[in-house]
Chains A and B, each alone.
Chain A
Amino acid sequence: MLRFAIRRILMAVPTLAIMAVAVFVLIRLIPGDPASLMLGDLADPASLADLRERLGLDKDIATQFVIWFGNVLRGDLGLSITSGQPVLPLVLERFWVSARIVFIAVAIASLIAVPAGVIAAWRQNSALDLALVGTATVLLSIPTFWLGLLLLLLFGLKLEWLPVVGYVSFSDNPTAALLYILMPVATLFLHEMGVLIRMSRASTLEVLRLDYITHARAKGLSERAVLWRHAFKNAFGPTWTLIGLVLGNLLGGIAVVETVFTIPGLGRLLVDSIFARDYPVIQGCLLFVAFVYVVVNLVVDLLYPVFDPRVTAE
């Protein structure tokens, strides 16, 4: 297990290095100059030259990359061009805001969707199955920004149960913080629930058709035992993989949901930085997102044997 984990972590190093180069080069291929954006449409040549020099943008790209990459190896992701803040603390601070919402949403979505998918498969083609599949398809098809706005209109404006804008951190006031993240969490879990129900149902259906399930039933086992002890364990693998992918994907950015609900998370930071051409923050965010993706998938792989004894970490 340990060897497997170390090997996977070492494999992530070249991935992150390639990512660093790709991010650095690609973002500079996009037209746009952070110094011009900061000075706006009134940039006189002298001010522009001053600012470009101060930001190190007057150096050639290779030199800029060597300086930046050298700093990254020392754990320093640089300073934000627009705010002057150190990038790493900024990214971490925003990441935790997003992470809380994502973890809660994915946990709720998984707890509801996985059993729902298993039950839908067990009662395939019944009214319950059709209802669950229909609900999942609808949830999957609704864009998150629209779903978010619908919730905002319903719970914020019509019913006046929940705050429409703003954010309160858990350290300031846990109760209020919970109220402020209810709608973003609901938006995400409703959407992701659709994906997970379909996957859980499909993988359970596949397992239910296997011979050993027929054998279990022939032995006279109860349906509950067949379903949960025999079918679920083998059917959960693909869903678990998908949960990992969903988690990694959402942790990488829920910019749309954060924009609708004014949540100061990582996704909004990344989008704002792209519009402002804040190179150090864009690079920092993307490198961090790649790192999180690698870690989440590593954890998912390491936990595989817990759910499916046929799989070993070795």
Chain B
Amino acid sequence: MMKRTIAFTLGTLLAAAPAAAQTVTVALNADIRSTNPGVNRDDNTDAVVLHMVEGLVGYRENGSVAPLLAEKVDVSPDGRTYTFTLRKGVKFHNGAELTADDVLWSWNRYMDPKTDWRCRSEFDGRSGLKVEKAEAPDAATFVMTLDRPSALFLDSLARTDCGMTAVLHRDSVAADGSWDKPIGTGPFRFGEWRRGEYVTVTRFDDYSSPPGDRPDGLVGAKRTALAEVKFLVVPDASTVKAALVSGAVDLAQVLDSDVPELSASKSAAVGLYPSATKHTFLFQTRDPLLGNVKLRQAIAASIDIPELVAAVSNGHGKANNSAVALTSAYYGDVQRKAYAYDPEKAKQLLAEAGYKGEPIRIIANKRVHVPSFNAAVIAQAMMQAVGINAEIEVLEWATQLDRYNKGNYQMMSFSYSARLDPALSYEQFSGPKDRQPRKVWDDPAAQDLIEKASVISDEAERRKLFDQLHELQLETTPLIIFANGQEAWAHTKRLEGADPWEGKPRLWGARVATN
């Protein structure tokens, strides 16, 4: 009786709190950095902002690119001119209708150095490709002319870290040109941002969804039934778990180790979602020891990768030694070829490499939601079993990233963020070390194949190039890719249809159960 009285009293008091009953709460492990798409961002920022804004094109679940605000995209025979025909009836959150003028204004804003758009260098010639001209010949047509054909142009526009090159209404900026708030075309509109606490988005009733009967990556059907979504900052994993069980949070990424307990909970359910994140062991090929390909091959042969992946993912993950993600349309039989676990061969390769027990240091970090440290510990044990003197050095993430960028390591347990097109995925770690010390695979033959795959649009031709790249990567072993991401997300049982994608919550397909 006493308990009920106290609970009732406190419940009555809490009812005065601003939390609305129909608000769905999603936990973020850190606050967003801004609401400015592709400018000051991280994964959490992208996850929230992409509920409010959309670009001309977006990613499908299989990593291909599809029209989003565009109804169709026509490419000229020389591959240099892209004509985007806009969907009719699309409105901004302020009620204004989307026109090609808005697209042109948004593009010019992104290309203005004052905007600090992180992807400007992808389009202004500094990274190769240059958009020579952008025009709006009529209200429904937007045309971009490139200096060269590119297979990656649309991918670059769709990149989530570029904020999907979102089309914004010009009222998103203040009179002095400074950022105010996102007035986009997404299924949710900006609500309130309490820094360090939460950000809310509310349903946009005039939203015009792309065609489709279900969400597909960041395209497909995007109609929403939810009135409001609150992205609440909850940094501690234990608190997240308690909040899910109590119902204070409806959706959150959780630790693999919490999956069994949450799955058994009466109030929560757990789903596992693949992502194109790459979990890897990097080798510094300029290291006096690891410059020897036989030693790198010996390390690869010493690690039972499926066993390692099963251990670090609580049995949920699947090994993949390719830079082409398991979810990619380009993942095929060749990409299934993997390093063979063979301790005897590892010992033989060590002898051929002239290895005399010199220490090999593996750098790792203990960030949550990446298997860096656990993978390093298991790899160390397996390497030691064949006679490799492996050591682990644990660093805080910023320090590890600094060492990575400077190429200052022997071996590193490192996770790459997702790149959905295989050419972009290979480009993440390939290139000349003299220009960019962070690059891992400095091989002109590989670079040549990647550059071809960046230009050729034909799917079959690209597939052949990716197959060759995979074979070459297995042979030269500049790194060991051991798995893609497999993320565990838990949700309360009242929330249905909120399936995260590529590590980002997607609330436009979600609904609240009525009973």
Contact = CB atoms under 8 A, between A and B. Distances in A.
Interface of B: 3, 6-7, 10, 13-14, 16-19, 27, 30-31, 33-34, 40, 42, 113, 116, 118-122, 126-127, 161, 194-198, 232-236, 238-239, 242-243, 245-246, 248-249, 396-399, 401-405, 414, 416-417, 419, 428, 435-436, 438
Interface string A21-50: 000000000111100111111111111001
A89 to B, nearest CB: 11
Contacts of B113: 50
A66 interface: no
Contacts of B238: 149, 152, 260
Given A41-B416, A157-B245, A176-B13, A31 B402 contact: yes
Contacts of A37: 398, 401
Interface in A151-182: 152-153, 156-157, 159-168, 172-173, 175-176, 179
Contacts of B417: 40-42
A161 B4 CA distance: 9
Given A41-B416, A159-B3, A262 B239 contact: yes
Interface string A204-238: 00000000000000000000000000000000000
9 contacts: A32-B396, A32-B401, A42-B161, A157-B246, A161-B10, A165-B27, A165-B243, A176-B18, A262-B239
A209 B116 CA distance: 71
B248 A260 contact: no
A35 B238 CA distance: 30
Q: Identify the 5 closest CB pairs spanning chains A and B, nearest first.
A: A264-B196, A32-B398, A176-B17, A46-B121, A46-B126
B398 A277 contact: yes
Given A159-B3, A259-B235, A45 B435 contact: yes
B404 A41 contact: yes
Interface stretch (A4-12, A108-116, A268-276): A268-276
Contact of B402 (A33, A38, A50, A90): A33
- Which of A31, A84, A260, A262 is most buried by chain B, counting CB atoms within 10 A of its CB? A262
Contacts of B405: 33, 36, 43
A177 to B, nearest CB: 9
Contacts of A149: 238-239, 242
Contact of A165 (B126, B239, B401, B402): B239
A31 B399 contact: yes
A276 B30 CA distance: 11
A166 B401 CA distance: 32
Given A42-B417, A160-B246, A259-B239, 6 more contacts: A41-B404, A50-B113, A83-B34, A163-B248, A264-B197, A275-B398
A182 B195 CA distance: 22
Nearest to A97: B196
A42 B278 CA distance: 13
A168 B30 contact: no
Contacts of A157: 242, 245-246
A278 to B, nearest CB: 10
Most B Cβ at <10 Å: residue of A32, A165, A261: A165
Nearest to B15: A176
A59 interface: no
With most chain B CB atoms within 10 A of its CB, the pick from A31, A157, A167 is: A31
A82 interface: yes
A175 B11 CA distance: 11
